[in-house]
């Protein structure tokens, strides 16, 4: 069956559940862990559920159906899931809540084994390659009243046409590719999300056009490795249809830049090794593409980078940064860092600090290395003791905070273009928006500005946000 027919079949299950739900209008609650790709998947889960006439509630105690969309990039997500399942046991006993768990963690056998053994009351387990089958799986739970497991270990296909309920009506994420072929030695993603495959250019462009028509202003293009969009297809002669000249990530940027109504384009995450000149040129030439580039470093030491299988050296990374800064006016950068990868010495760690000093990032996302079952990193013998990992993490955090403080000072007195996103969380008299460089800015203003691009003069900085006034 082709993917279009598979989706049609699922739409019939949506109708069947809708009929069951019409009287009761049951409620659902969803927990999303992890990255923006998972958040985008959750928007699709919500889209399917709302078509089935489920109504969303925040508190899982009020829900008839609780769904977890899990992440397995680091260990703490597992602790969180098991904690929540513990809480749900009693609630399920009282009111028969249906519990479904999906996402990356479900592609790990040791986790699903543990759930089946220790939390046998869970009704449905589904994986990353079977998200589109949620209607059928859920129907089987409701109809047959027994547990379902729908997890397959394949390369995965691209499914178009799933309903979607987006979290915002100003900013939208658009997944452009799934999976990863890089096998960084610490990372579980290639094992749970399968091989790289790109969406057809036409499907992406049509989706963005539709978003623009519906008033969306900012688009974030998502993928585990966005700058290798369509590369596997080109290299292996896997057929795809060129549309509006799109046959690479750079050409995709140009095409989306032309879509009227869209004011900002962001993308995460690119891989430094694939940062080709055409992408740098596209970022410079496309006025809507934000000049903040997330460029994951992971570690500063060439030796650690080699062990991580990152395929670039410290010098190559710094050279790329230099070239990008020269070629893209007003470029800002953010990055990901892992501390405590196996074999990392104090000298290696100093290389990480050195790169942070030299590059001057806008934002640094810092992680303590977490052993992932099945990855090469987990089998390495020279694991770093926890206390050293934590000491290095604290030292890194201190440096990063100092640098961010210094960097924020440079904003004071400048005028920034802001996309106004809504009221501030903690003060309903102020609005919040973001700069091109993704800094949060808080200012006083009228609600009618929400969704608009405006100019703000920055008055003060507060570490994680800036304050300003409309000019």
Interaction site with ligand SF4 (CB under 6 A)? 180, 182-184, 187, 189-190, 224-225, 271
Q: Which is nearer to ligand 5AD, 97 or 370 (CB)?
A: 370
Asked if 243 is part of the footprint of ligand 5AD (rule: CB under 6 A), the reply reads: no
Query: Cβ(451)–Cβ(170) under 8 Å?
Result: yes
> Which partner from the list ligand 5AD, ligand SF4, none does 274 bind, CB cut-off 5 to 8 Å by kind?
none
Shortest distance, position 91 Cβ to ligand 5AD, whole Å: 32
CB closer to ligand SF4, 183 vs 464: 183
Using the rule CB under 6 A, is 361 a contact of ligand 5AD?
A: no
Sort 108 into a burial class: Cβ within 10 Å, 0-12 / 13-18 / 19+.
buried
Please give the residues from 137 up to 196 whose contact with ligand 5AD meets the rule CB under 6 A: 186-187
298 binds ligand 5AD (CB under 6 A): yes
- Cα–Cα–Cα angle for 396, 398, 399, rounded to 5 degrees: 65
| Contact indicator for 271, 182 with CB cutoff of 8 Å | yes
Q: How far is the CB of 218 from ligand 5AD (least distance, A)?
A: 21
| Partner residues linked to 431 by β-bridges | 423, 443
Compute the distance between CA of residue 221 and CA of residue 36 in angstroms, rounded to an integer. 10
Q: Which residue, 321 or 338, has its beta carbon nearer to ligand 5AD?
A: 338
Q: How far is CA 132 from CA 76, 177, 269, in A?
A: 27, 16, 24
Task: Tell me which DSSP letter residue 127 carries.
Answer: -
What span, in angstroms and rounded, lies between the C-alpha atoms of 30 and 62? 12
Handedness of CA 91, 96, 102, 107 (dihedral sign): positive
Query: Is 369 near ligand 5AD (CB under 6 A)?
Result: yes
Closer to ligand 5AD by CB, 186 or 349: give it.
Answer: 186
Contact between 370 and ligand 5AD by CB under 6 A: the answer reads yes
Minimal distance, residue 187 CB to ligand 5AD, in Å? 4
Least distance (Å) between residue 297 CB and ligand 5AD: 9
| CA separation, residue 316 to residues 274, 324, 355 (Å) | 12, 12, 12
For position 39 contacting ligand 5AD by CB under 6 A, the verdict is no
By the rule CB under 6 A, 98 interacts with ligand 5AD: no
| Dist. CA 97–CA 87, nearest whole Å | 12
DSSP 44-106: HHHHHHHHTT-EE-S-GGG-SEEEEEE--SSTHHHHHHHHHHHHHHHHHHHH--EEEEEEGGG
Q: Does 349 bind ligand 5AD (CB under 6 A)?
A: no
Q: Does 367 bind ligand 5AD (CB under 6 A)?
A: yes
Chain centroid, CA 332 distance in Å: 20
For ligand 5AD, the closer of residues 48 and 177 by Cβ is 177
Q: Of these partners, ligand SF4, ligand 5AD, none, which one is at the site of residue 183 (CB under 5 to 8 Å by kind)?
A: ligand SF4
Residues near 284 by beta carbon (within 8 Å), at least 6 away in sequence: 327, 328, 329
Instruction: Look at residue 42 and give the partner it binds from ligand SF4, ligand 5AD, none, a contact being a CB closer than 5 to 8 Å depending on partner kind.
Output: none
- Using the rule CB under 6 A, is 296 a contact of ligand 5AD? yes
CB-nearer residue toward ligand SF4: 187 or 419: 187
Sites of contact with ligand 5AD (CB under 6 A): 73-74, 186-187, 296, 298, 336, 338, 367, 369-370, 372
């Amino acid at each position: 069956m082709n993917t279009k027919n598979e989706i049609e079949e699922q739409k019939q299950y949506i109708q069947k559940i809708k009929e069951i739900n019409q009287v009761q209008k049951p409620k659902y609650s969803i927990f999303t862990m992890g990255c923006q790709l998972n958040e985008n998947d959750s928007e699709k889960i919500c889209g399917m559920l709302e078509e089935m006439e489920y109504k969303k509630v925040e508190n899982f105690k009020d829900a008839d159906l609780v769904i977890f969309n899990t992440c397995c990039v680091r260990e703490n997500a597992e602790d969180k899931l098991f904690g929540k399942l513990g809480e749900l046991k009693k609630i399920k006993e009282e009111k028969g809540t249906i519990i479904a768990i999906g996402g990356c963690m479900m592609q790990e056998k040791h986790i699903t084994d543990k759930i089946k053994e220790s939390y046998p009351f869970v009704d449905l387990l589904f994986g990353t390659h079977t998200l589109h089958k949620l209607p059928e799986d859920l129907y089987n739970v409701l109809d047959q009243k027994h547990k379902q497991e729908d997890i397959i270990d394949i390369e995965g296909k691209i499914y178009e046409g799933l309903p979607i309920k987006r979290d915002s009506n100003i900013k939208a994420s658009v997944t452009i590719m799934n999976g990863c072929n890089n096998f960084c030695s610490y990372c579980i993603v290639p094992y749970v999300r399968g091989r790289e495959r790109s969406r057809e250019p036409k499907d992406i462009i049509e989706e963005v056009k539709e978003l623009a028509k519906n008033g969306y202003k900012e688009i974030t293009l998502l993928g585990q490795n966005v700058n290798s969009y369509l590369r596997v297809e080109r290299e292996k002669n896997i057929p795809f249809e060129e549309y509006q000249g799109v046959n690479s990530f750079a050409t995709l940027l140009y095409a989306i830049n032309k879509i009227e109504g869209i004011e900002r384009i962001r993308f995460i995450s690119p891989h430094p090794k694939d940062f080709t000149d055409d992408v740098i040129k596209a970022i410079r030439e496309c006025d809507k593409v934000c000049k903040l580039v997330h460029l994951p470093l992971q570690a500063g030491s060439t030796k650690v980078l080699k062990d991580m299988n990152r395929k670039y050296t410290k010098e190559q990374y710094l050279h790329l940064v230099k070239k990008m800064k020269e070629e893209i006016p007003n470029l800002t950068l953010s990055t990901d860092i892992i501390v405590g990868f196996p074999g990392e010495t104090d000298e290696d760690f100093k290389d990480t600090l050195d790169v942070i000093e030299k590059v001057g990032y806008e934002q640094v996302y810092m992680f303590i290395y977490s052993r992932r079952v099945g990855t090469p990193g987990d089998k390495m013998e020279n694991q770093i003791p926890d206390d050293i990992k934590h000491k290095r993490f604290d030292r890194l955090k201190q440096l990063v905070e100092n640098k961010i403080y210094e960097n924020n000072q440079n904003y004071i007195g400048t005028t920034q273009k802001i996309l106004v996103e809504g009221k501030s969380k903690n003060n309903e008299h102020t609005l919040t928006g973001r700069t091109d460089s993704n800094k949060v800015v808080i200012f006083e203003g009228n609600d009618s500005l929400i969704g608009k691009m405006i100019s703000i003069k920055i008055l003060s900085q507060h570490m994680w946000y800036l304050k300003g006034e409309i000019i």
